[in-house]
């Protein structure tokens, strides 16, 4: 099967989305000159070009794209060709309103923006297949073509009548009979029993709380429908070019797609990543997404989009200070990226994203943004030969599962303060700040290669996942879990006792009497730290040990941190420093070590293959001990035992 190495050939891909249809042809020549000077070797064409390619139903305007493909080829720049199906032309919505999605209040999402397509619309799918067929036929053998990029950030929901019809088919396929569905959805509650498939609709606006299992199935259905759209286009391009890889770009930790499932359908896993330059935890947010994407890819992955400067979709959009684009790009490479790409090449002068940065900003060639992009291109070329294709095994895995997230992200819970992605971020942050590198894994994956498995929260778990966790500990692994794990089964049915009995036994919990959520900003004293967000009234069994207890209040003396052998359970969210300390201790006991000892805060060290990346996330110079004599592959500078990293500095060493 083709993969990213088919395209990289020992080079790190460098470039980005190129939208030349926004510019006169003279600018294309200028673009190519600047691209070559910056070491750009890959551009993504056609992401939003449907109206240009098909200006009226069935018409084809390929001339401009022919010229561009040739231009790229003549200049040694590979093309990742996108199917333009994320933004249908206005004529489609106008002639075929059935292609437009409908929100849960029954309102149509009109054209005039983007992503206004119904994943369930047969008409949309027919037009999408036709343009994909024609692109594949026309460019499949073009020498510039290196990879296919299907659609863009699949992220739409649809509550329309046509989606409802497909939802019914999907449910029939899943449950077979209405009796099964009624059982799984618990429709005995509130008189919701269905007597005919035709009565079932998408979970539209309702007077009060909706059936949670219906909502959960609707999320599953939505992910599956989008995946069907992706797979249909992928199969078309695959037939034309079986030797070329296919991808579609994920949004990080996006609720709408089960990315574990999707990644299996891709040849290259790619992601778009936009941490806020002002966020003191921006680097950690980046690391999290990079770890997750590498784990989904099970190897090198593609950073499809990042911003060279500001984005335009936050309330206040800050530029990247000098050096930050380089630092975060090299961080992605350290964590497995073999492609460093941007949205977009040249900053637009018109349209909704004209204040979103490009690799070439409004300031043009002389602007700092392009100058830094150019310098980075040269540096990536220096290390690409030693970096690409390499992969490093980690000792720690953080578990994450979309179905558990979906089941937990519902109204009618004990606390709306508990947010699944926030918990994943908090636990990953603790590991990151303890300088421990981690993979992500699905709870049903083979975990045997890991010394430590960390579960921030898995509210709903299948029996297979529970058995997997238990077997992992029985086979010598160390497991640490946060609260609200194993509460429900895959239908969101609460397990007897409020937590699966096998898991209670694993962690040494005899009875989980009550959950005691905390208010926003409220803390609960525990031995040696403060807990936040949540607490639990737990009665331990004889074999478990209270490692830290709640102090004072109703839960005085009850376990905040409980351990039974190698299984740890944390019934609150310790404040960041405490969680960092706790995980550092558990990891050390499990034999998982940081990449380097004694690292200062703000310094990140990551091993990739035979290389060691050391990154300074602060604006101040920091000295770091690195035993031995080394040469920085980026600058050629040699040093012994200690290296001083300047503001946002990075060194790449052979280790
Ligand atoms: C991504 C998208 C790009 C561009 C970018 C702006 O979500 O794929 O087309 O809109 O965001 O940050």
In this prediction, residues 474-489 reach a mean pLDDT of 98
Residue 655 has pLDDT above 90, yes or no: no
pLDDT of residue 392: 86
pLDDT of residue 269: 98
Instruction: Of 241, 236, 229, give the one whose Cα is nearest residue 133.
Output: 236
Cβ(452)–Cβ(480) below 8 Å: yes
pLDDT digits (tens, 9 = 90+) for 282-298: 999 999 999 999 999 99
Distance (Å) from CA 449 to ligand 1 centroid:
36
Q: What is residue 630's three-state secondary structure?
A: strand
Question: Alpha helices of 176-317 — where are they, by DSSP H?
Answer: 178-185, 212-240, 259-263, 282-297
pLDDT digits (tens, 9 = 90+) for 541-568: 999 999 999 999 999 999 999 999 999 9
Which residues' Cβ are closer than 6 Å to ligand 1?
Answer: 152-153, 272, 274, 305, 311, 343, 353, 356
pLDDT of residue 296: 98
**How much is the mean pLDDT over the chain?**
98
Identified catalytic residue from 109, 162, 305, 547: 305
Residue 461 has pLDDT above 90, yes or no: yes
Distance, in Å, from the CA atom of 461 to the CA atom of 613, rounded to the nearest integer, reads 36
Place 182 in a pLDDT band, splitting at 50, 70 and 90.
Answer: very high
Out of 3.40.640.10, 3.20.20.80, 3.40.50.970, 3.40.50.300, select the CATH number for domain 5-160+225-387: 3.20.20.80
pLDDT of residue 235: 98
Distance, in Å, from the CA atom of 425 to the CA atom of 139, rounded to the nearest integer, reads 42
Mutate to test the pocket of ligand 1, among 43, 86, 153 (most ligand atoms within 8 A of CB): 153
pLDDT of residue 598: 93
Taking the alpha carbons of 429, 430, 435, 441 in that order, is the dihedral positive or negative?
Answer: negative
Question: What backbone phi and psi angles, to 5 degrees, belong to 56?
Answer: -145, 160
Residue 254 has pLDDT above 90, yes or no: yes
- How many H helices and E strands in the chain? 18, 26
Q: Which two tokens stand for residue 323?
A: 């050096």
pLDDT of residue 121: 98
From the alpha carbon of 47, which atom of ligand 1 is closest? 9
Instruction: Of 550, 551, 546, give the one whose Cα is nearest residue 536.
Output: 550
The 10 Å Cβ neighbour count of residue 186 is 16
Q: Which two tokens stand for residue 479?
A: 């497991």
From the alpha carbon of 274, which atom of ligand 1 is closest? 12
- Beta strands at 396-399 and 438-441: parallel, antiparallel or unpaired: parallel
Distance (Å) from CA 344 to ligand 1 centroid:
8
Cβ(398)–Cβ(385) below 8 Å: no
Mutate to test the pocket of ligand 1, among 50, 248, 272 (most ligand atoms within 8 A of CB): 272
Instruction: Of 327, 307, 328, give the one whose Cα is nearest residue 319.
Output: 307
The 10 Å Cβ neighbour count of residue 317 is 17
Identified catalytic residue from 153, 162, 490, 604: 153
Beta partners for 108?
Answer: 102
Distance, in Å, from the CA atom of 80 to the CA atom of 59, rounded to the nearest integer, reads 23
User: So where are the chain's domains?
Assistant: 5-160+225-387, 396-590, 603-654
pLDDT of residue 460: 98
pLDDT digits (tens, 9 = 90+) for 314-330: 999 999 999 999 999 99
Distance (Å) from CA 307 to ligand 1 centroid:
9
Distance (Å) from CA 191 to ligand 1 centroid:
44
Distance, in Å, from the CA atom of 530 to the CA atom of 528, rounded to the nearest integer, reads 7
Distance, in Å, from the CA atom of 174 to the CA atom of 197, rounded to the nearest integer, reads 13
Specify the fold of 603-654.
Immunoglobulin-like (2.60.40)
Question: Is 305 one of the catalytic residues?
Answer: yes
Closest residue to atom 12 of ligand 1, CA basis: 311
Distance (Å) from CA 250 to ligand 1 centroid:
11
CA distances from residue 571 to 455, 482, 566 in whole angstroms, order as listed: 12, 6, 16
Distance (Å) from CA 183 to ligand 1 centroid:
41
From the alpha carbon of 153, which atom of ligand 1 is closest? 8
From the alpha carbon of 313, which atom of ligand 1 is closest? 12
Distance, in Å, from the CA atom of 378 to the CA atom of 234, rounded to the nearest integer, reads 33
Query: Taking the CA atoms of the chain, what radius of gyration do you get in angstroms?
Result: 26
Q: Where are the beta strands (DSSP E) in 366-451?
A: 396-399, 438-441
For the domain bounded by 396-590, which CATH number is listed? 3.40.50.880
Mutate to test the pocket of ligand 1, among 353, 355, 359 (most ligand atoms within 8 A of CB): 353
Distance (Å) from CA 137 to ligand 1 centroid:
28
Q: Any idea what the Cα angle at residue 434 is, between residues 431 and 437, rounded to 5°?
A: 55
Q: What is residue 98's three-state secondary structure?
A: helix
Question: Is 379 one of the catalytic residues?
Answer: no
Q: What is residue 222's three-state secondary structure?
A: helix
Cβ(580)–Cβ(541) below 8 Å: no
Mutate to test the pocket of ligand 1, among 115, 305, 309, 355 (most ligand atoms within 8 A of CB): 305
Residue 118 has pLDDT above 90, yes or no: yes
pLDDT digits (tens, 9 = 90+) for 490-517: 999 999 999 999 999 999 999 999 999 9
Distance, in Å, from the CA atom of 337 to the CA atom of 335, rounded to the nearest integer, reads 6
Q: Which two tokens stand for residue 540?
A: 């331990």
């Amino acid at each position: 099967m083709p993969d990213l190495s088919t395209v990289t050939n020992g080079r790190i891909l460098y470039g980005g989305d190129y939208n030349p249809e926004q510019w006169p042809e003279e600018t294309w020549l200028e673009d190519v000159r600047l691209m070559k000077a910056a070491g750009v070797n890959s551009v993504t064409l056609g992401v939003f070009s449907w109206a240009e390619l098909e200006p009226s139903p069935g018409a084809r305007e390929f001339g401009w794209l022919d010229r561009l493909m040739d231009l790229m080829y003549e200049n040694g720049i590979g093309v990742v060709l996108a199917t333009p199906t994320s933004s249908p032309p206005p004529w489609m919505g106008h002639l075929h309103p059935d292609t437009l999605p409908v929100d849960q209040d029954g309102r149509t999402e009109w054209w005039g923006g983007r992503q206004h397509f119904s994943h369930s619309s047969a008409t949309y799918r027919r037009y999408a297949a036709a343009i994909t067929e024609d692109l594949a036929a026309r460019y499949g053998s073009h020498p510039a073509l290196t990879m296919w990029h299907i659609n863009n950030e699949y992220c739409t929901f649809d509550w329309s009548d046509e989606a409802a019809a497909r939802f019914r088919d999907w449910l029939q396929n899943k449950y077979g009979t209405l009796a099964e569905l009624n059982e799984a959805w618990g429709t005995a509650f509130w008189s919701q029993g269905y007597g005919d498939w035709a009565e079932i609709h998408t979970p539209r606006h309702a007077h009060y709380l909706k059936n949670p299992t219906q909502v959960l199935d609707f999320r599953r259905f939505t992910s599956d429908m989008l995946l069907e759209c992706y797979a249909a286009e992928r199969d078309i391009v695959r037939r034309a070019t079986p030797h070329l890889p296919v991808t579609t770009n994920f949004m990080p930790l996006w609720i709408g797609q089960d990315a574990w499932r999707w990644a299996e359908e891709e040849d290259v896993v790619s992601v778009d990543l936009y941490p806020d330059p002002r966020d003191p935890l921006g680097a950690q947010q980046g690391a999290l997404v990079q770890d997750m994407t590498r784990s989904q890819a099970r190897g090198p992955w593609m950073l499809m989009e990042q911003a060279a400067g500001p984005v335009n979709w936050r309330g206040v959009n800050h530029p990247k200070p000098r050096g930050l684009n380089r630092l975060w790009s090299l961080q992605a490479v350290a964590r497995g990226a073999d492609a460093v790409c941007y949205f977009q090449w040249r900053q637009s002068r018109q349209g909704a994203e004209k204040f979103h940065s490009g690799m070439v900003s409004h300031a043009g060639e002389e602007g700092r943004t392009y100058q830094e992009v150019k310098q980075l291109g040269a540096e990536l070329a220096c290390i690409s030969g030693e970096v690409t294709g390499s992969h490093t095994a980690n000792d720690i895995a953080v578990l994450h599962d979309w179905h558990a997230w979906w089941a937990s992200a519902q109204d009618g819970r004990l606390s709306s303060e508990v947010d699944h992605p926030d918990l994943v971020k908090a636990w990953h942050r603790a590991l990151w700040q303890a300088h421990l590198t981690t993979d992500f894994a699905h709870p049903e994956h083979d975990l045997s290669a890991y010394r430590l498995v960390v579960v921030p929260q898995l509210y709903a778990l299948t029996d297979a996942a529970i058995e997997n966790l238990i077997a992992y500990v029985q086979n010598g692994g160390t497991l640490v879990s946060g609260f609200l794990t194993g509460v429900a089964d895959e239908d969101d049915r609460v397990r007897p006792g409020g937590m699966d009995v096998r898991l209670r036994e694993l962690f040494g919990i005899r009875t989980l009497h009550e959950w005691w959520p905390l208010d926003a900003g409220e803390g609960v004293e525990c031995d040696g730290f403060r807990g936040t967000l949540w607490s639990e009234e737990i009665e331990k069994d004889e074999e478990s040990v209270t490692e830290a207890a709640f102090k004072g209040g109703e839960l005085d003396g009850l376990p905040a941190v409980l351990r039974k052998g190698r299984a740890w359970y944390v019934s609150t969210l310790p404040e960041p420093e405490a969680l960092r300390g706790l995980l550092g201790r558990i990891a050390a006991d499990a034999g998982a070590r940081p990449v380097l000892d004694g690292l200062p805060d703000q310094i990140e060290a990551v091993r990739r293959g035979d290389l060691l990346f050391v990154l300074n996330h602060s604006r101040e110079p920091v000295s770091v001990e690195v035993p031995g004599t080394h040469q920085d592959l980026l600058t050629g500078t040699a040093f012994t035992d200690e290296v001083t990293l300047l503001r946002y500095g990075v060194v790449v060493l052979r280790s």
